[in-house]
Amino acid sequence: MGTDKTLLVKGVKYLFVTALTMFLAPVVIYQAFKNEGHPWYIPVLIVGLLLATVAIVLGFYAVKLMVDSLFGKKK
């Protein structure tokens, strides 16, 4: 039982994108709450919340890919 290196690299790439969205989402949400009187408040807040959701989903998917590469898929 060996490690699937291509799947592991794909998981690490997804983990890197997850880290970027984990830092970008709170910044966007903070900027939205800082400018509550601005007409773009709601769209910026929605974008920030979508980025936070994407970060969570990508995090789970990246961990799943890395576990599958290390232990193999269940059949």
Look at residue 72 and give its three-state secondary structure: coil
Q: State yes or no: pLDDT of 61 exceeds 60.
A: yes
What's this model's pTM, rounded to 2 decimal places? Answer: 0.85
Q: What is the pLDDT of residue 15?
A: 95
pLDDT in tens, 8-51: 999 999 999 999 999 999 999 999 999 999 999 999 999 999 99
The pair of structure tokens assigned to 68 is 């599958």
Place of tokens 């997850």: 18
Backbone angles phi, psi at 24, to 5 degrees: -75, -40
CA atoms within 13 A on the CB side of 15: 12
pLDDT in tens, 21-32: 999 999 999 999
